[in-house]
């Protein structure tokens, strides 16, 4: 099975499962109370989006990835790693204050990294990679 | 760096899809190139120039500062 199909199927299954789980839990939705859930949805939507892009490219007979998409991924990865260092610095500061549990801070860090990667990818995608 | 891809495509009556398939990239990459939002690798620049039957310097125009 091709990589793009696998990414697409896994991301779709995770998204559908999350929606069903949330729908059946019967809880009322408040964005601030469910911030982590919102970030997970954003990340999974991103994975679905990437999967759909690769899938449609392959259907048109184009490569699922080419030099531009790879460079955008590389650029977004390196920039998001750099920005994430500051996120972890902030979380260390919050941990020092002792307001939140360690597992909450770790979860926030991981989800924050995912969100930063998504945002940097969007930034480079719309800005382009000219003269670099 | 600017390029004449859009102009050459119009001259030869070629779509972005056709050019993308011919040089082995996604159509999106051709769109980015035409908008000057991406500088291609030497290989892609060579492939595009070869497709139009022109030397690279006649397709990709370097602005010397």
Q: Among A63, A129, A130, select the one facing B25 at the smallest CB separation.
A: A63
Q: Among A60, A63, A130, select the one facing B38 at the smallest CB separation.
A: A130
Kindly state whether B11 is in contact with chain A, defined as any CB-CB distance less than 8 angstroms.
no
pLDDT in tens, A50-88: 888 888 888 888 888 889 999 999 999 999 999 999 999
Burial annotation B14-46 (CB, 10 A radius, 16+ → b, else e): eebeebbbebebbbbbbebbbeeebbbeeebbb
Domain count, chain B: 1
Report chain A's terminal Cα–Cα distance, integer Å. 35
Q: Given this model, what pLDDT does residue B50 score?
A: 95
- Give chain A's mean pLDDT: 81
Which residues does chain B have within 8 Å of residue A131's beta carbon, measured at their own beta carbons?
A: 1, 39
Angle, helices A67-97/A102-127, rounded to nearest 10 degrees: 150
- Band (pLDDT 50/70/90 cuts) for residue A41 is confident
CB pairs under 8 A between A and B: 45
Tell me the pLDDT of chain B (65 aa) as tens digits. Answer: 889 999 999 999 999 999 999 999 999 999 999 998 999 999 999 999 999 999 999 999 887 65
Whole-prediction pTM: 0.75
Domain hosting B57: range is 2-61
What is the CATH number for B52? 1.10.260.40
């Amino acid at each position: 099975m091709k990589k793009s199909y696998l990414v697409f199927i896994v991301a779709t299954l995770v998204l559908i499962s999350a929606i069903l789980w949330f729908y059946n839990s019967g809880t009322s939705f408040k964005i601030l109370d469910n911030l982590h859930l919102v970030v997970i949805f954003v990340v999974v939507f991103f994975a679905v989006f990437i999967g759909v892009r690769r899938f449609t490219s392959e259907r048109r007979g184009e490569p699922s990835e080419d030099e531009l998409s790879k460079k955008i991924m590389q650029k977004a990865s390196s920039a998001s790693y750099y920005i994430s260092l500051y996120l972890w610095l902030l979380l260390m500061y919050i941990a020092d204050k002792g307001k939140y549990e360690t597992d909450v801070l770790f979860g926030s860090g991981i989800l924050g990294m995912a969100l930063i990667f998504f945002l940097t990818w969007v930034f480079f995608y719309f800005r382009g990679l000219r003269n670099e | 760096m600017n390029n004449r891809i859009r102009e050459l495509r119009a001259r030869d009556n070629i779509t972005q899809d056709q050019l993308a398939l011919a040089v082995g990239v996604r159509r999106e990459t051709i769109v980015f190139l035409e908008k000057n939002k991406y500088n291609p690798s030497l290989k892609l620049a060579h492939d595009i120039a070869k497709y139009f039957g022109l030397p690279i310097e006649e397709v990709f125009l370097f602005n010397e500062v």
